[in-house]
Amino acid sequence: MTNAADDSTKITKEAARAQARAALAHRYPGMQWGLGCLKNAAGPLEAQVFCAAQPEQRLVVKVYAPAEGARARAQAERQRAVAAALPGGAPEVLFLDEARGVLAMDYADGPVLSALWPVLSGRERLARLEEAGRWLAAFHGTTARSHPFRPKGQIAWLHRLFDWHAEGTRAFPEVEAFRSDVAGMEIMAREVRGTPARRAVTHRDLHLSNIVATQGGLVGLDFENAKEDEPLRDLVWLLIDAMVLAPEDDDPAPLAAALARGYGPTGTTPEALLFLQRLFALGIWAATPAAPSRRQAARYLAARRIMAVKDKLFAP
């Protein structure tokens, strides 16, 4: 079946379903699979995700658009590494059919945390965040290493954001307030340069929809990134997602404290922690378009609240 999307970077549900069935038939001859779509978006996507089921087995099948083969290989390689280093913390890869762009993996049986969030009490949310902090610490711990903090590249990135804004390639709100905060970051950078810090291979797209609550514990999803970064990126992104999904929790401090209890020491000085939590909040601010969706607007407001915090939110 041909892909009905206008270009090879997107694939429709119908085309993806046909590719999934072909890959499953090739891998498991004679077995019949039911396919249920796990993404609600109606239009073509870079990847479609299905639950494939038959009486004795369930698995997840992710079908990538034709142009996304490198991403399929990256996720298969990275997820195999994470599953090996973190047993039970990530789904095992079952196969990668490169010709069809189909990645199959174990099914993590349970709801994602984003589905639970609206029905949890405040105390239950804090408990789940503490659990998520423990999972994230274990994930980062598989690759973590100490290093002297070098903020030069991060300051340069903040200045590139201004260039993109001036060129019209990226428009974000309250640019003068953003500029003022960046000036403060430049002062902080001089103070934290060379201080003890830690790097690890991070998730880089961590939100509550990428963590499943199974009976055996939390399981992470969607591993593609294989580059080192500051672990605070994942912590700040997860914190912001928790704030967005429960707008009444508009104070980041209690939510961050729960994450910090689970995560434990970050191996980074208090001054560098404050710099990094503001850096990643600025990144979310700068990703807010001129006409944001409701979720993008909520993420922007959460980022501004984190910018207003005067002290570190996580443990050194």
pLDDT (0 to 100) of residue 3: 52
Say if CB 229 and CB 200 are below 8 A apart: yes
Handedness of CA 252, 253, 258, 259 (dihedral sign): positive
Domains observed in the chain: 13-106 (3.30.200.20), 113-308 (3.90.1200.10)
For the chain, the residue count is: 316
pLDDT (0 to 100) of residue 248: 80
Per-residue pLDDT of the chain (316 residues; tens, 9 = 90+): 445 445 799 999 999 999 999 999 999 999 999 999 988 777 899 999 999 999 989 999 999 999 999 999 999 999 999 999 999 999 999 999 999 999 999 999 999 999 999 999 999 999 999 999 999 999 999 999 999 999 999 999 999 998 999 898 889 999 999 999 999 999 999 999 999 999 999 999 999 999 999 999 999 999 999 999 999 999 999 999 999 998 787 799 999 999 999 999 999 999 999 999 999 999 999 999 989 999 999 999 999 999 999 999 999 9
> 36: which strand partners?
51
> Which positions ≥6 away from 53 have C-beta within 8 Å?
33, 34, 35, 36
Q: What is the CA radius of gyration of the chain?
A: 21
